Structure 1
Amino acid sequence: MSSDFVVHIIRDALLMAFWLSAPILMVGFAIGIVMSLIQIVTSIQDSAFNTVPRLASVLLAILLALPWMLNKATTYASSILGNLSRYAR
């Protein structure tokens, strides 16, 4: 197995981790920005005001994205395990 092949496998693994985490991180970031703007406008200093909606939105995003995430992860795992004999050479 050449070093280029190892780099390709690691690159694919990092890209898969990025694509699986991106929807949840984007939702958390967007809700965090919106809640911070609301805090600035209303001068509310309560930290729970920002945390609870962000947590709820991230949980909802996980529930909505879970089928897609499982499909992507299963496809990636099956491609890695399917080519295991090729990696062992």
Structure 2
Amino acid sequence: MNEADALDIVQYAIWTVLMTSAPAVLVAMSVGVGIALVQALTQIQEITLTFVPKIVAILLTVSVSAPFMGAQIGRLTDIVFGRIQSGF
């Protein structure tokens, strides 16, 4: 295994991490901005108001996008095991 193979695997692993975390991060960001807007408009500064809806939204998003995340991780696993089987 040379540096190019290792770099290729690391690059694909980073891309997989970005793709699998993207749905949860985007939903958390949008819910957070929405709640911040509501708090700014109503001047309600309750701490739990920011965390509870984000947690619920992230749990729903992860449960809905679990097949996509599993497919991405499975594809990475196939690539790494394929490289191991071919002897790099």
TM-score range, shorter chain: over 0.9
- Does residue 34 in structure 1 map to residue 37 in structure 2? no
SS of structure 1 residue aligned to 2:65: helix
TM-score of the superposed pair, with normalisation by structure 2? 0.92
Instruction: Find runs of 4+ consecutive structure 1 residues off by over 4 angstroms.
Output: none
Structure 2, gaps ≥5 residues long: none
The aligned counterpart of 2:82 is: 82
Mapped partners of 1:53, 1:63: distance in 2 = 15
TM-score of the superposed pair, with normalisation by structure 1? 0.91
Q: How does 1:10-89 map to 2 (within 5 A)?
A: 10-86=10-86, 88-89=87-88
SS of structure 1 residue aligned to 2:14: helix
Structure 1, gaps ≥5 residues long: none
- Sequence identity (%): 23
Amino acid aligned to 1:9: I
Structure with the bigger RCO (C-alpha within 8 Å, sep 6+) is 2
- CA shift at 1:78, angstroms? 1.6
Mapped partners of 1:3, 1:46: distance in 2 = 51
| TM-superposition CA deviations, 1:30-73 (whole Å, max 9, x none) | 10000000000000010111111111000000011001111111
Corresponding pairs, count: 88
